[in-house]
Amino acid sequence: KKEDATPEKSEDNLRSPICCIMGHVDTGKTKLLDCIQGTNVQEGEAGGITQQIGATYFPAENIRERTKELKADAKLKVPGLLVIDTPGHESFTNLRSRGSSLCDIAILVVDIMHGLEPQTIESLNLLRMRNTEFIVALNKCNSVVLIFSNFHLDRLYGWKNSRNAPILKTMKQQSKDVQNEFNMRLTQIITQFKEQGLNTELYYKNREMGETYSIIPTSAISGEGVPDLLLLLVQWSQKTMVEKLTYNNEVQCTVLEVKVVEGHGTTIDVVLVNGVLHEGDQIIVCGMQGPIVTTIRALLTPHPMKELRVKGTYLHHKQIKAAQGIKITAQGLEHAIAGTGLYVVGPQDDLDDIKEVAMEDMKSVMNRIDKSGEGVCVQASTLGSLEALLEFLKTPEVNIPVSGISIGPVHKKDVMKASVMLEKKKEFATILAFDVKVTPEARMNWFKAYIDNLKEQKKKESADEAVFPCVLKILPNCIFNKKDPIVLGVDVLEGIAKVGTPICVPQREFIDIGRITSIENNHKPVDIAKKAQKVAIKIIGSNPEEQQKMFGRHFEIEDELVSRISRNSIDVLKANYRLLMIQAPRRHRVSRLLYVEREAVFVARDSS
């Protein structure tokens, strides 16, 4: 194939630049993407577009057509523009290869009404870190509406829309007040950028491009400024990135997403940054269980006509030249990892060398696993987001050790793996899953563990409320203290006497005498005493009235002491200790409760 043989560094041999969209949430990134693509995903036309494959390609003719009002005489030297379909940090962090960005240029969206927001600054830092050029889209310009001036509510001014028009043309149509309002907001935002150490200026006034970043006012709703944005993206990239954009026959390709597609099995959506891919090429991608060596069965792109972009109509290609977003079908892609590189095996290449190179991305994350084997499991949808998560967990404020990692959906086996930690360090028996699906089977396991845990916790919390029924007989000659506290020797006739149990005297109109605060069995403190045990108990009144109660005056040696059971404590017992209750002797459950509280009898019969 002669045409790919000698990459020439020349302006006539350029590939399409790759562009992504970043910015704070709700600044209109998705809307702007729709607007650039001429689609309307947000409004859900005809069931929505189902065939996004990571990136949309705009041929040069399309850009020329859409920017003709700008009368740009400069000829387009690049074949087109490739725009990444998913907005935000995530796609940007995934789109990298050995630390450098795959995006040649970015659109940083700022809401004119809000200015710079936290994620705008995060995006800025990411872009600077990866040395990526960007253009600011000052979006929602159509929201610049002057509600009132001079405090007269009757003077309403608004932005006048002119669909898909260049921004200067639109600007001229606006009233003086709207222009003033616009300029005021623009000045504020330029100042905010300055605070971040960046010079910015309206693009048509920018005389120092390269030193000063360009701002293009846009409306993603009515399309104003979008032609300017498209033209500047293309012109600026082809002017300043000739070297980076020079077409070259060495394949540079990144897996964006691993997807199951009806009729195609597991496919990968890739961005081909440079080089050419052919049907039948032998490729290697990084997999969870090691390198995947396979052969390209089909190279697919969505239909360029948006009307045909409904389910099932992909275009097939014998070969595709960079830059492009492509869906690849091949065997054995189930465990492919999004965010890693795709490598083509040439006739001269050593398979093992390439396998090793392909697995390098994975090595870097493997190195971050805690050697002690104690830690949480982390799972993410892509290598990029996994790396970001691991980085976050490592920061001193967070500092959570990681014992295992995985990419892709949470399966039952992942839950099993994480649950091993229950025996080592309970608090780490956790999967931190980020942007991944959880299979139903795994979900059930997970849910069960969660419920069991909740039950245990509830049991602990309700321990105070749970009063176990008991009947105590006072032992003669064992009255150690008559009052405040009452200290007696008792024989447990029925049930369980527990520390914390409130005690009353049924024969004396159920007077309350306090709670058991300690129990001694053979001079040893214990928490509970079971049926037939003879123990010493200390009872302390919970209120001044109870504290007055005295052996010999309010109750006598022949009186039985029983636990004070309330409706609430019965409910707690039923909810948390059913098993224990059922194991208790029947007589105890029914007959003894009988003289404690009428309602309790009812409940006890229920549960027997």
Nearer to ligand GDP, 162 or 282 (CB): 162
From the list 51, 139, 200, 563, which residue makes contact with ligand GDP (rule: CB under 6 A)?
139
User: In this chain, which stretch among 137-145, 202-210, 360-368, 548-556 interacts with ligand GDP, using CB under 6 A?
Assistant: 137-145
CB of 66 to ligand GDP, least distance (A): 17
From residue 384 to residue 423, the character string flagging contacts with ligand GDP as x (rule: CB under 6 A) and all else as - is ----------------------------------------
Decide if residue 220 touches ligand GDP (CB under 6 A): yes
Decide if residue 474 touches ligand GDP (CB under 6 A): no
Measured distance CA(20)–CA(42) in Å, rounded: 18
| Residue 336 preceded by cis peptide, ω within 30 | no
In the structure, how many helices (H) and strands (E) does the chain have? 20, 30
CB of 86 to ligand GDP, least distance (A): 10
Say which residue the tokens 């108990």 belong to.
537
Q: Please name which of 377, 357, 297, 366 lies closest in space to residue 333, comparing C-alpha atoms.
A: 297
User: In this chain, which stretch among 25-33, 183-191, 402-410, 444-452 interacts with ligand GDP, using CB under 6 A?
Assistant: 25-33
Decide if residue 142 touches ligand GDP (CB under 6 A): yes
From the list 17, 28, 375, 489, which residue makes contact with ligand GDP (rule: CB under 6 A)?
28
Decide if residue 564 touches ligand GDP (CB under 6 A): no
- Give the side-chain half-sphere CA count within 13 A for 589: 18
Nearer to ligand GDP, 157 or 468 (CB): 157
Measured distance CA(86)–CA(186) in Å, rounded: 27
Decide if residue 140 touches ligand GDP (CB under 6 A): yes
Q: And the tokens for 55?
A: 């990136």
Measured distance CA(226)–CA(246) in Å, rounded: 26
Measured distance CA(51)–CA(607) in Å, rounded: 58
Say which residue the tokens 């954009």 belong to.
245
CB of 141 to ligand GDP, least distance (A): 7
**Distance between terminal CA atoms of the chain?**
85
Q: Tell me the C-alpha to C-alpha distance, in Å, between residue 71 and each of 35, 64, 67, 75, 193.
A: 21, 10, 7, 11, 30
Render the burial of 200-209: b for 16+ CB within 10 Å, e for the rest.
bbbbeebeeb
Decide if residue 29 touches ligand GDP (CB under 6 A): yes
CB of 21 to ligand GDP, least distance (A): 8
Q: Please name which of 281, 211, 190, 270 lies closest in space to residue 4, comparing C-alpha atoms.
A: 281
Decide if residue 26 touches ligand GDP (CB under 6 A): yes
Nearer to ligand GDP, 127 or 220 (CB): 220
CB of 413 to ligand GDP, least distance (A): 35
From residue 76 to residue 115, the character string flagging contacts with ligand GDP as x (rule: CB under 6 A) and all else as - is -----------x----------------------------
Contacting residues toward ligand GDP, per CB under 6 A: 23, 25-31, 87, 139-140, 142-143, 219-221
